[in-house]
Amino acid sequence: MSEKRSRHIIIPCSGIGKAVGTVARRATYIVTGEKLPRQTETTCLPLLTIEDKEAAEKVRENPCITIDGCIAQCAKKNVEHHKGNLRVAINVLDVLRENPGLKPGTVLDIGPDGEKLASRIAEKIVKIISEKE
Amino acid sequence: MKINSRKIALISCSGEDLPEGTVSRVATRRILEQRDDTVTICLPLFLAGGQGERDFAKENPCITVDGCQKMCAAVGVKKYGGVTPRSTIVISEVAETLKCPKPTSKSKITSDDEKLVQNVMKIIDEKIRTVKEGKD
């Protein structure tokens, strides 16, 4: 019997107004591009916002991990709106509280501390996915 | 009608799954930092936020900056704000028209992508001028 393996969908908010939005986006690329490229992918969050059927189907059929930069929790709420398979919702602000020394720089350049913060988030996601497998 | 009092809303798709989304996000953000006559809103807030966020598109003349032909930002403005953007920009079309190399990295702006970003910024500036002069 062949088993269809699902890939985790990592969805950041990419908030354009705050550096933590860039941290969320950067963490996503560390996971999907460097750490777990075969087990993970991302999708454009705006596709969920405009209710694109293909994107909605993807988040329902695959386990999702959202990364939000602020309390608005756009990524989480967009996935929930589509009744997506939300496995874990991460907020950059929570990880920042655990790592108070890692203050990200600006939206366009999160700087070395922002990079470290993104790496911490990526490590959390890798752990979550590895525990499942 | 000239628009002087209201700020121009720049709404970027910032699409995570396409290099063009990264170009859209960076070009838009740079303009926002350069000009105090522009404002923005995170596109996913149209769905995740409340009526206040949805009214944002009605209250400010919008220029949307999209990475691809799906045009999520333009569609989002229409769907949630009930208005048509004053002007739209699609990065994939700009790259084709200006014969810029297609961007290849989602995670960073490469030196090749920088030319495209600069061109998109010029186009955004021109669109802002046109909208403010009421020529749109």
The predicted model gives A76-85 an average pLDDT of: 98
Q: Estimate the share of chain A in helix, then strand, then coil, as percent rounded to the nearest 5.
A: 50, 15, 35
pLDDT, residue A1, reads 44
| pLDDT tens sequence across B107-131 | 999 998 999 999 999 999 999 999 9
Q: CB–CB of B44 and A81 under 8 A? A: no
Alpha carbons within 13 A on the beta-carbon side of B19: 16
Classify B45 in phi/psi space as left (phi over 0), alpha (psi -120 to 50) or beta.
alpha
ipTM of the complex: 0.93
The predicted model gives B29-47 an average pLDDT of: 96
Instruction: Kindly tell me if the per-residue pLDDT of A109 is higher than 80.
Output: yes
pLDDT, residue A2, reads 43
Instruction: Kindly tell me if the per-residue pLDDT of A133 is higher than 90.
Output: no
Work out the percent of chain A whose per-residue pLDDT is above 90. Answer: 93
**∠ Cα A118 B9 B109 (to 5°):** 40
B48, B58 in Cβ contact below 8 A?
no
Q: How far is A33 from chain B (nearest CA, A)?
A: 9
Cβ count near A81 (within 10 Å): 15
pLDDT, residue A131, reads 86
pTM of the model: 0.94
User: Nearest residue of B to residue A78 by CA position?
Assistant: B48
